Protein backbone atom coordinates (compact mmCIF):
# COMPACT_ATOMS: atom_id res chain seq x y z
CA UNK A 1 0.00 0.00 0.00
CA UNK A 2 2.82 2.42 0.85
CA UNK A 3 4.33 1.82 -2.58
CA UNK A 4 1.06 2.92 -4.19
CA UNK A 5 1.02 6.21 -2.25
CA UNK A 6 4.71 6.77 -3.02
CA UNK A 7 4.12 6.30 -6.74
CA UNK A 8 1.10 8.64 -6.65
CA UNK A 9 3.22 11.37 -5.06
CA UNK A 10 5.94 10.75 -7.63
CA UNK A 11 3.51 11.12 -10.53
CA UNK A 12 2.08 14.35 -9.12
CA UNK A 13 -0.89 16.10 -10.75
CA UNK A 14 -1.54 14.76 -14.23
CA UNK A 15 -4.75 16.56 -15.28
CA UNK A 16 -4.03 19.44 -17.69
CA UNK A 17 -5.66 22.75 -16.77
CA UNK A 18 -7.56 22.86 -20.05
CA UNK A 19 -8.86 25.09 -21.60
CA UNK A 20 -6.81 27.75 -19.79
CA UNK A 21 -3.64 25.84 -20.68
CA UNK A 22 -3.31 24.48 -24.20
CA UNK A 23 -2.00 20.92 -24.74
CA UNK A 24 1.41 20.15 -26.17
CA UNK A 25 0.78 18.16 -29.33
CA UNK A 26 3.17 15.94 -31.25
CA UNK A 27 5.10 17.45 -34.16
CA UNK A 28 3.44 14.79 -36.30
CA UNK A 29 -0.04 16.00 -35.43
CA UNK A 30 -1.96 17.39 -38.41
CA UNK A 31 -4.61 19.84 -37.29
CA UNK A 32 -6.58 22.67 -38.87
CA UNK A 33 -5.59 23.00 -42.57
CA UNK A 34 -4.17 26.28 -43.89
CA UNK A 35 -4.64 27.02 -47.59
CA UNK A 36 -2.93 29.69 -49.69
CA UNK A 37 -5.40 31.81 -51.69
CA UNK A 38 -3.87 31.72 -55.15
CA UNK A 39 -4.71 29.85 -58.39
CA UNK A 40 -3.22 26.39 -58.86
CA UNK A 41 -3.04 26.52 -62.66
CA UNK A 42 -3.15 23.15 -64.35
CA UNK A 43 -1.73 21.20 -61.42
CA UNK A 44 -4.24 18.69 -60.06
CA UNK A 45 -1.77 16.54 -58.14
CA UNK A 46 -3.51 17.09 -54.80
CA UNK A 47 -6.83 15.92 -56.24
CA UNK A 48 -5.24 12.74 -57.54
CA UNK A 49 -3.73 11.71 -54.19
CA UNK A 50 -6.68 12.58 -51.93
CA UNK A 51 -8.27 9.25 -50.94
CA UNK A 52 -11.62 10.72 -49.90
CA UNK A 53 -12.31 13.48 -52.43
CA UNK A 54 -11.96 16.19 -49.81
CA UNK A 55 -10.29 18.68 -52.15
CA UNK A 56 -11.61 20.84 -54.96
CA UNK A 57 -9.93 23.61 -56.93
CA UNK A 58 -11.38 27.05 -57.57
CA UNK A 59 -10.03 30.11 -59.41
CA UNK A 60 -9.05 31.49 -55.99
CA UNK A 61 -7.15 28.36 -54.96
CA UNK A 62 -7.75 24.99 -53.28
CA UNK A 63 -10.78 24.28 -51.10
CA UNK A 64 -10.66 21.55 -48.47
CA UNK A 65 -13.67 19.90 -46.82
CA UNK A 66 -12.61 18.80 -43.33
CA UNK A 67 -15.79 16.76 -43.16
CA UNK A 68 -14.34 14.45 -45.82
CA UNK A 69 -10.63 14.88 -45.05
CA UNK A 70 -8.70 11.99 -43.49
CA UNK A 71 -5.91 14.36 -42.35
CA UNK A 72 -3.41 12.01 -43.98
CA UNK A 73 -1.32 14.91 -45.28
CA UNK A 74 -0.84 13.44 -48.77
CA UNK A 75 -2.02 16.66 -50.44
CA UNK A 76 0.39 18.75 -48.38
CA UNK A 77 3.34 16.52 -49.22
CA UNK A 78 2.69 16.51 -52.96
CA UNK A 79 1.96 20.24 -53.33
CA UNK A 80 5.27 21.64 -54.55
CA UNK A 81 4.11 25.24 -54.06
CA UNK A 82 3.16 24.77 -50.43
CA UNK A 83 -0.42 25.93 -50.89
CA UNK A 84 -1.80 23.23 -48.59
CA UNK A 85 -0.41 22.84 -45.09
CA UNK A 86 -1.68 21.49 -41.79
CA UNK A 87 -1.25 23.48 -38.60
CA UNK A 88 -1.10 22.20 -35.02
CA UNK A 89 -4.42 23.88 -34.20
CA UNK A 90 -6.80 21.29 -32.70
CA UNK A 91 -9.82 23.64 -32.76
CA UNK A 92 -11.59 22.03 -35.72
CA UNK A 93 -15.15 21.44 -34.46
CA UNK A 94 -18.02 23.30 -36.09
CA UNK A 95 -21.68 23.86 -35.33
CA UNK A 96 -22.47 23.77 -39.06
CA UNK A 97 -21.44 21.55 -41.95
CA UNK A 98 -20.44 24.62 -43.92
CA UNK A 99 -18.02 25.57 -41.14
CA UNK A 100 -15.86 22.58 -42.08
CA UNK A 101 -15.06 24.03 -45.51
CA UNK A 102 -11.58 25.57 -45.45
CA UNK A 103 -10.45 28.12 -48.05
CA UNK A 104 -7.66 30.66 -48.26
CA UNK A 105 -9.78 33.11 -46.28
CA UNK A 106 -9.95 33.24 -42.51
CA UNK A 107 -12.21 30.57 -41.12
CA UNK A 108 -15.33 32.19 -39.63
CA UNK A 109 -16.57 31.14 -36.21
CA UNK A 110 -19.79 29.16 -36.19
CA UNK A 111 -22.68 29.48 -33.77
CA UNK A 112 -25.11 26.82 -32.53
CA UNK A 113 -28.17 26.44 -34.72
CA UNK A 114 -30.39 26.48 -31.61
CA UNK A 115 -30.27 27.43 -27.96
CA UNK A 116 -27.98 25.03 -26.11
CA UNK A 117 -27.97 26.84 -22.77
CA UNK A 118 -29.92 23.95 -21.21
CA UNK A 119 -26.73 21.83 -21.48
CA UNK A 120 -24.40 24.45 -20.00
CA UNK A 121 -24.01 22.59 -16.71
CA UNK A 122 -24.58 18.83 -16.79
CA UNK A 123 -24.23 16.99 -20.09
CA UNK A 124 -24.85 13.26 -20.33
CA UNK A 125 -24.07 11.53 -23.63
CA UNK A 126 -24.74 8.09 -25.10
CA UNK A 127 -22.18 6.96 -27.67
CA UNK A 128 -23.28 4.96 -30.70
CA UNK A 129 -20.62 3.20 -32.76
CA UNK A 130 -22.43 2.99 -36.09
CA UNK A 131 -20.00 0.71 -37.89
CA UNK A 132 -16.78 2.46 -36.87
CA UNK A 133 -13.28 0.98 -36.88
CA UNK A 134 -12.90 1.78 -33.14
CA UNK A 135 -10.42 4.64 -33.65
CA UNK A 136 -12.91 7.44 -32.96
CA UNK A 137 -14.41 5.35 -30.21
CA UNK A 138 -11.02 4.96 -28.55
CA UNK A 139 -10.41 8.71 -28.63
CA UNK A 140 -13.74 9.44 -26.97
CA UNK A 141 -13.13 6.77 -24.32
CA UNK A 142 -9.75 8.24 -23.40
CA UNK A 143 -11.44 11.47 -22.31
CA UNK A 144 -12.34 9.73 -19.07
CA UNK A 145 -8.69 9.28 -18.07
CA UNK A 146 -6.78 11.50 -15.64
CA UNK A 147 -5.16 13.73 -18.24
CA UNK A 148 -8.45 14.92 -19.74
CA UNK A 149 -10.78 14.23 -16.79
CA UNK A 150 -14.00 14.84 -18.73
CA UNK A 151 -16.13 14.55 -15.61
CA UNK A 152 -14.75 17.79 -14.10
CA UNK A 153 -16.68 19.69 -16.79
CA UNK A 154 -19.93 17.95 -15.88
CA UNK A 155 -19.80 15.77 -19.00
CA UNK A 156 -20.26 12.00 -18.76
CA UNK A 157 -21.01 9.06 -21.03
CA UNK A 158 -23.99 7.00 -19.88
CA UNK A 159 -25.11 3.47 -20.64
CA UNK A 160 -28.71 4.17 -21.62
CA UNK A 161 -30.09 6.71 -24.11
CA UNK A 162 -32.98 7.26 -21.68
CA UNK A 163 -30.48 8.81 -19.26
CA UNK A 164 -28.77 10.90 -21.95
CA UNK A 165 -29.03 14.49 -23.15
CA UNK A 166 -27.77 13.52 -26.57
CA UNK A 167 -25.88 11.12 -28.80
CA UNK A 168 -22.26 10.96 -29.90
CA UNK A 169 -22.20 9.05 -33.17
CA UNK A 170 -19.08 7.53 -34.72
CA UNK A 171 -18.66 5.43 -37.84
CA UNK A 172 -20.17 5.65 -41.34
CA UNK A 173 -23.66 4.51 -40.22
CA UNK A 174 -23.78 1.15 -41.93
CA UNK A 175 -27.06 -0.34 -43.06
CA UNK A 176 -26.81 -2.89 -40.25
CA UNK A 177 -26.59 -0.08 -37.68
CA UNK A 178 -29.04 2.35 -39.27
CA UNK A 179 -32.19 1.21 -37.47
CA UNK A 180 -30.37 0.71 -34.18
CA UNK A 181 -29.14 4.30 -34.36
CA UNK A 182 -32.62 5.64 -35.15
CA UNK A 183 -34.11 3.63 -32.28
CA UNK A 184 -31.47 4.99 -29.90
CA UNK A 185 -32.23 8.52 -31.05
CA UNK A 186 -35.95 8.03 -30.44
CA UNK A 187 -35.20 6.68 -26.97
CA UNK A 188 -33.26 9.83 -26.04
CA UNK A 189 -35.45 12.43 -24.31
CA UNK A 190 -36.03 15.78 -26.00
CA UNK A 191 -34.46 18.24 -26.41
CA UNK A 192 -31.62 16.01 -27.53
CA UNK A 193 -28.22 16.71 -29.00
CA UNK A 194 -26.60 14.89 -31.90
CA UNK A 195 -22.83 15.06 -32.29
CA UNK A 196 -21.02 13.58 -35.31
CA UNK A 197 -17.49 12.54 -34.37
CA UNK A 198 -15.05 11.64 -37.13
CA UNK A 199 -14.99 11.87 -40.90
CA UNK A 200 -16.99 8.67 -41.36
CA UNK A 201 -19.89 9.98 -39.29
CA UNK A 202 -19.80 13.39 -40.97
CA UNK A 203 -19.59 12.32 -44.62
CA UNK A 204 -19.08 8.56 -44.91
CA UNK A 205 -15.32 9.03 -45.21
CA UNK A 206 -13.56 6.59 -47.52
CA UNK A 207 -16.77 4.51 -47.56
CA UNK A 208 -18.78 7.36 -49.09
CA UNK A 209 -20.62 6.12 -52.15
CA UNK A 210 -20.98 2.58 -50.85
CA UNK A 211 -24.52 1.25 -50.76
CA UNK A 212 -23.74 -0.24 -47.36
CA UNK A 213 -23.44 3.08 -45.52
CA UNK A 214 -24.81 6.62 -45.46
CA UNK A 215 -23.24 9.74 -46.93
CA UNK A 216 -23.21 11.37 -43.55
CA UNK A 217 -25.18 11.43 -40.33
CA UNK A 218 -27.01 14.61 -41.36
CA UNK A 219 -28.92 12.52 -43.90
CA UNK A 220 -30.62 10.75 -41.02
CA UNK A 221 -30.59 13.05 -37.99
CA UNK A 222 -30.29 16.77 -37.21
CA UNK A 223 -26.63 17.26 -36.25
CA UNK A 224 -25.76 19.96 -33.70
CA UNK A 225 -21.96 19.60 -33.76
CA UNK A 226 -19.41 18.22 -36.23
CA UNK A 227 -15.96 17.14 -35.02
CA UNK A 228 -13.80 16.15 -38.02
CA UNK A 229 -10.76 13.87 -38.07
CA UNK A 230 -9.76 10.31 -38.81
CA UNK A 231 -9.84 9.95 -35.89
CA UNK A 232 -10.20 13.36 -34.22
CA UNK A 233 -7.61 14.13 -31.60
CA UNK A 234 -9.06 13.76 -28.07
CA UNK A 235 -8.38 17.46 -27.48
CA UNK A 236 -10.45 18.29 -30.57
CA UNK A 237 -13.33 16.22 -29.22
CA UNK A 238 -13.07 17.83 -25.80
CA UNK A 239 -12.89 21.30 -27.35
CA UNK A 240 -16.07 20.60 -29.32
CA UNK A 241 -17.95 19.27 -26.28
CA UNK A 242 -16.94 22.32 -24.25
CA UNK A 243 -18.21 24.59 -27.03
CA UNK A 244 -21.68 23.12 -26.47
CA UNK A 245 -21.42 24.25 -22.85
CA UNK A 246 -20.24 27.70 -23.95
CA UNK A 247 -16.68 27.14 -22.73
CA UNK A 248 -14.04 28.45 -25.14
CA UNK A 249 -10.28 28.03 -25.05
CA UNK A 250 -8.41 31.03 -23.73
CA UNK A 251 -6.04 30.91 -26.71
CA UNK A 252 -5.55 29.05 -29.94
CA UNK A 253 -2.71 26.55 -30.22
For residue 86, is it within any domain?
no
Q: 157 vs 58, 152, 166, 232, 240, CA distance in Å?
A: 42, 13, 10, 18, 15
CATH number, domain containing residue 217: 3.40.50.12280
For residue 38, is it within any domain?
no
Position 39 confidence tier, pLDDT thresholds 50, 70, 90: confident
- Residue range 145-183, pLDDT digits in tens: 989 999 999 999 999 999 999 999 999 999 999 999 999
Q: What is the mean pLDDT of the chain?
A: 92
Q: For Cα atoms 109, 115, 121, give the angle at the middle one, nearest 5 degrees.
A: 95
Q: Which residues span the domain enclosing 174?
A: 117-244
For residue 112, is it within any domain?
no
Which pLDDT score, from 0 to 100, does residue 3 have?
A: 79
For residue 230, is it within any domain?
yes
Is the alpha carbon torsion for 207, 213, 218, 219 positive or negative?
A: positive
For residue 96, is it within any domain?
no
- Structural domain total, the chain: 1
pTM of the model: 0.92
For residue 74, is it within any domain?
no
Helix, strand counts (H, E) of the chain:
7, 10
For residue 168, is it within any domain?
yes
For residue 97, is it within any domain?
no
Which pLDDT score, from 0 to 100, does residue 248 have?
A: 78
Over 80: is that where the pLDDT of 12 sits? no
Amino acid sequence: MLHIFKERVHQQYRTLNYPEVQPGLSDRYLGLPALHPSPCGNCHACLDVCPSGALTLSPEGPILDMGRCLFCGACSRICTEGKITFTHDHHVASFSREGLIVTGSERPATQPQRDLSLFSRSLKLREVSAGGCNACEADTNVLGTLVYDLGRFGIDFVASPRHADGLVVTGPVTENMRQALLDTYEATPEPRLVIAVGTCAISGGIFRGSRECSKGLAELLPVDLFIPGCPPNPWSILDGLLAIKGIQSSQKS
